[in-house]
């Protein structure tokens, strides 16, 4: 691991107009003085901090339209959009606290659990390549052979431009792996959720989804115009209360959960979910984006993990981009479900088919997964090792259960930004999750652990995290 300071992070700091020392405690005092709490926005925090520090700052447009912005010319400016103002607010906080932007880092190359950023190597805890298949020679060879035979694109949607044997092979291998009748592959995991939920559900229907569901589920709910209600994360009692209250008011109902949650690294209670969906007459959709290849002795996911018949779940969803080292998404389930999607889902009917190398890579990765369950055992063991060491080191791992994703909660977003830079300087690439994705004071680092990390890399990462976090607490106390 690298000990020296990382020059990349330092170079990316946009302005040095504020001295960082003493700023974090000042920030905290200001938060209290200004009556800001967990519901305060980043913009409010930055505003009070900047005002009190007298720091020079760009003028940020207020939420209420000014008189001049009510005329037609200015309302057409992209800079007026609240989406842009949020970006400015985050940039401003970065400038005030001299924190480099951790997002959109450009990686030069990757090898197993290591990566290169601007010519320097890092131990990588920010990749979903859970079984290291992005490095597997059989996966790369399959993609190259597919290009040689079919080219790089299928040019249009499969319904009109036709499909290739690669699509059929992938879909039947996925259905077989899940032990269900059929499967269909989309070009994007995100589009899979949006299109599937948007196609199946109507304004007469009810969707109840876990509060920590992926954005693609939320967008799918909006598209469907069904009544969509969130239940408290992983709280099946809360789910049942919503079913009792609302199920009878709607024609059809859908429950959506993730098998293994990408945000907190915990596992959905599939047996209870299946019991509830059967009791209340609802469909159950399980997003296995992070569970495939990780849960169950053979990596078959949540059903194998809990020993549940996969046919008791109506809609299995997953992505090709994580364990399967490709790009795209899939739905697996009954033949009639797949027929509906193939002829009605906009993400299939009006979008291009998977490119040949991506379909071939996913099939080859699935074949390696089937043939090499020892990779699954390794990722599970590595996840457990990380979690037990992190807990022993006194890190706050929230509800993480360990298989492949461990979140370490560090506090406010400024602390997260500072620690993120120090992690990079110490040779670790791991990204923070900050407000508004999580509450203002619950910023966290998500460590994605793969079968390819060594025990030494895991032990060192936990030790560095502990050192930085304790150092940051001691500095804040002393100031």
Ligand X SMILES: Cc1ncc(COP(=O)(O)O)c(C=O)c1O
What is the closest distance, in whole angstroms, from the C-beta atom of residue 319 to ligand X in the complex? 4
Q: Which residue, 389, 468, 456, is CA-closest to 424?
A: 468
How far is residue 68's CA from residue 66's CA, in Å, rounded to a whole number? 5
Strands 443-448 and 405-411: antiparallel
Sequence-ordered list of residues with C-beta below 8 angstroms from that of 215, at least 6 positions apart, any chain: 190
In this structure, are residues 30 and 97 in contact, taking their beta carbons and an 8 Å threshold?
no
- Judge whether 262 counts as a catalytic residue: yes
Which 27-66 residues touch ligand X, going by CB under 6 A?
Answer: none
Per CB under 6 A, 329 contacts ligand X: yes
Per CB under 6 A, 258 contacts ligand X: yes
| Candidate residues 115, 127, 216, 382; the one interacting with ligand X per rule CB under 6 A | 216
Q: Site size for ligand X, by CB under 6 A?
A: 13
Which 281-310 residues touch ligand X, going by CB under 6 A?
Answer: 287, 289
Chain position carrying tokens 């991506």 = 358
Q: How many helices (H) and strands (E) does the chain have?
A: 18, 14
Question: Which tokens in the block code for residue 176?
Answer: 């077989």
In this structure, are residues 233 and 286 in contact, taking their beta carbons and an 8 Å threshold?
no
Region from 85-93, 146-154, 189-197, 370-378 binding ligand X, contact rule CB under 6 A:
189-197
DSSP character string of 441-472: T-EEEEEE--TT--HHHHHHHHHHHHHHHHHH
Query: Which residue in the list 157, 262, 363, 404 is annotated as catalytic?
Result: 262
> Toward ligand X, which CB reaches closer, 414 or 430?
430
What is the closest distance, in whole angstroms, from the C-beta atom of residue 185 to ligand X in the complex? 11
Which 117-136 residues touch ligand X, going by CB under 6 A?
Answer: none
What is the closest distance, in whole angstroms, from the C-beta atom of residue 125 to ligand X in the complex? 15
Residue at shortest CB range from ligand X: 189
Chain position carrying tokens 């200015």 = 74
Per CB under 6 A, 190 contacts ligand X: yes
| Candidate residues 124, 134, 188, 407; the one interacting with ligand X per rule CB under 6 A | 188
> Toward ligand X, which CB reaches closer, 115 or 319?
319
Sequence-ordered list of residues with C-beta below 8 angstroms from that of 379, at least 6 positions apart, any chain: 130, 131, 293, 294, 403, 404, 449, 450, 451
Per CB under 6 A, 446 contacts ligand X: no
Report in angstroms the alpha-carbon separations of 370 from 79, 113, 180, 310, 337. Answer: 50, 21, 16, 17, 25
What is the closest distance, in whole angstroms, from the C-beta atom of residue 190 to ligand X in the complex? 4
What is the closest distance, in whole angstroms, from the C-beta atom of residue 193 to ligand X in the complex? 6
- Judge whether 233 counts as a catalytic residue: no
- Judge whether 322 counts as a catalytic residue: yes
Strands 315-319 and 283-287: parallel
Query: Which residue in the list 290, 305, 418, 453 is annotated as catalytic?
Result: 290
Per CB under 6 A, 355 contacts ligand X: no
Per CB under 6 A, 214 contacts ligand X: yes
How far is residue 425's CA from residue 145's CA, in Å, rounded to a whole number? 40
> Toward ligand X, which CB reaches closer, 113 or 286?
286
Beta strands in 238-319 (DSSP E): 253-258, 283-287, 315-319
Q: Which residue, 383, 367, 353, is CA-closest to 324?
A: 367
Region from 184-192, 264-272, 299-307, 340-348 binding ligand X, contact rule CB under 6 A:
184-192
Region from 64-72, 187-195, 352-360, 471-479 binding ligand X, contact rule CB under 6 A:
187-195
What is the closest distance, in whole angstroms, from the C-beta atom of residue 314 to ligand X in the complex? 17
Per CB under 6 A, 189 contacts ligand X: yes
| Candidate residues 157, 195, 234, 319; the one interacting with ligand X per rule CB under 6 A | 319
DSSP character string of 368-426: HHHH-HHHHHHHHHHHHHHHHHHHHTT-B-TT---SSEEEEEEESHHHHHHHHHHHHHT
Per CB under 6 A, 450 contacts ligand X: no
Q: Which residue, 414, 410, 412, is CA-closest to 93?
A: 414
Query: Which residue in the list 136, 167, 277, 322 is annotated as catalytic?
Result: 322
Residues near ligand X (CB under 6 A) are 188-190, 193, 214, 216, 258, 262, 287, 289, 319, 321, 329
- Give the catalytic positions in this structure: 262, 290, 322
């Amino acid at each position: 691991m690298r000990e020296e300071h990382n020059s990349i992070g330092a170079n990316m700091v946009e302005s040095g107009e504020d001295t960082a020392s003493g700023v974090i405690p000042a920030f905290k005092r200001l938060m209290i003085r200004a009556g800001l709490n967990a519901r305060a926005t980043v913009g409010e925090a930055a505003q009070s901090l900047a005002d009190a520090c007298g720091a020079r700052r760009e003028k940020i447009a207020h939420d209420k339209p000014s008189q001049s912005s009510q005329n037609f010319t200015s309302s057409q400016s992209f800079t007026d959009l609240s989406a842009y103002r949020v970006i400015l607010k985050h940039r401003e906080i970065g400038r005030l606290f001299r924190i480099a932007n951790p997002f959109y880092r450009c990686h030069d190359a990757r090898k197993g659990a290591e990566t290169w950023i601007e010519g320097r190597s890092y131990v990588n805890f920010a990749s979903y390549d859970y079984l290291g298949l992005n490095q597997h020679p059989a996966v790369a060879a399959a993609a190259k052979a597919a290009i040689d035979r079919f080219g790089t694109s299928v040019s249009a949607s499969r319904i009109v431009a036709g499909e290739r044997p690669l699509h059929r092979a992938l879909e039947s291998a996925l259905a077989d792996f899940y032990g269900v009748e059929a499967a269909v592959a989309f070009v994007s995991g995100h589009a899979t959720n949006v299109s599937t939920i948007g196609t199946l559900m109507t304004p007469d229907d009810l969707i109840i989804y876990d509060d920590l569901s992926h954005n693609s589920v939320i967008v799918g709910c909006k598209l469907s115009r069904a009544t969509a209600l969130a239940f408290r994360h992983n709280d099946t009692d809360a789910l049942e209360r919503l079913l009792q209250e609302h199920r009878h008011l709607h024609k059809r109902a859908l429950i959506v959960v993730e098998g293994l949650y990408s945000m907190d690294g915990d596992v959905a209670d599939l047996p209870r979910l299946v019991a509830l969906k059967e009791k209340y007459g609802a469909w159950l959709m399980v997003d296995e984006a992070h569970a495939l290849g990780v849960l169950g002795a053979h990596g078959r996911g949540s059903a194998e993990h809990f020993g549940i018949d996969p046919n008791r779940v109506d809609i299995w969803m997953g992505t090709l981009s994580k364990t399967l080292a490709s790009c795209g998404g899939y739905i697996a389930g009954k033949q009639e479900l797949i027929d509906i999607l193939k002829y009605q889902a906009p993400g299939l009917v009006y979008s291009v088919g998977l490119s040949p190398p991506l379909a071939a890579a996913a099939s080859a990765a699935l074949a390696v997964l089937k043939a090499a369950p020892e990779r699954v055992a390794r990722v599970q063991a590595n996840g457990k090792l990380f979690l037990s060491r992190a807990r022993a080191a006194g890190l706050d791992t929230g509800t993480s259960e360990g298989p492949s994703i461990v979140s370490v909660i560090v506090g406010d977003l400024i602390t997260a930004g500072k620690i993120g830079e120090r992690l990079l300087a110490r040779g670790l690439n791991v990204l923070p999750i900050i407000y508004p994705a999580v509450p203002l004071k619950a910023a966290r680092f998500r460590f994605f652990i793969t079968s390819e990390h060594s025990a030494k890399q895991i032990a060192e990462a936990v030790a560095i995290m502990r050192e930085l976090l304790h150092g940051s607490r001691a500095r804040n106390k002393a100031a």
